[in-house]
Amino acid sequence: MVYSEKINKAIKVATRLHDGQFRKGSTIPYIAHPFAVALLTQKYIDSEDTFIGGVLHDVLEDVPARNYTSEDLANDFGHDILNIVETVSEPDIKTPTQEAWRARKYSYLNNIQNSNDIRPLIISACDKMHNMGELAYGYDELGESIWTYFAAKREREIWFYEEVLNILKTKVLPPELIEEYISRLDKLKSLE
């Protein structure tokens, strides 16, 4: 993949929109996550749109809607990138209840289940792999208290990662991506 003006624009937009946000339970600037996801996607597909989707994958989900809308994203990057990002975005349900958490997760699972586009599926896998790696690192630092930063407890988070894996295994994806996902999930499950 060649660095392009479109990639540069995506990096600038994501950096601006995630400014002031931090990863759960840490002082790590949030933007580190979308960058890591975008870079990880390139291990499995050489695609500018996938890289851009990785950089932007949380702008609709984790940035207040008044700051950046689906229409803004389509105007800035086109409907193809919008479709990629929407596929890997949970709906905006702000109520911090277990029912809301479950509704968001089932909506996400439905999105990826119904996608025949490899690009958001790779972004989904890379997003979850990075999250699992960060959880394992956070566990090394904080122990069981890492789970206090999440709406769901350990068992439910692991359930969600397993459900994503079950869907990804039904898709035509690079086998090494599935292997890496399983390896990270196994490590997360072994934390005690």
CATH number, domain of 69, equals 1.10.3210.10
Q: How far apart are CA 138 and CA 143, in angstroms?
A: 7
> Nearest CA to 173 among 120, 132, 129, 133?
120
Q: Which residue type is seen at 166?
A: N
Domain residue limits at 19: 5-190
pTM value is: 0.94
Q: Which pLDDT does position 95 carry in this prediction? A: 63
Q: Which pLDDT does position 115 carry in this prediction? A: 97
Q: Please identify which residue in the block is written with the tokens 């289940």.
A: 113
- Name the CA dihedral angle for 43, 1, 67, 132, rounded to a multiple of 10 degrees: 10
Q: How open is the CA angle 93-131-180, to the nearest 5 degrees?
A: 130
The 10s digit of each residue's pLDDT in 3-18 is 899 999 999 999 999 9
Structure tokens at 40: 């990880």
Q: Higher pLDDT residue, 136 or 47?
A: 47
Half-sphere exposure at residue 51, Cβ-oriented, CA atoms within 13 angstroms: 18
Residue 176 neighbours by CB distance under 10 Å = 10
Band (pLDDT 50/70/90 cuts) for residue 151 is low
Domain count along the chain: 1
The 10s digit of each residue's pLDDT in 110-139 is 999 999 999 999 999 999 999 999 988 877
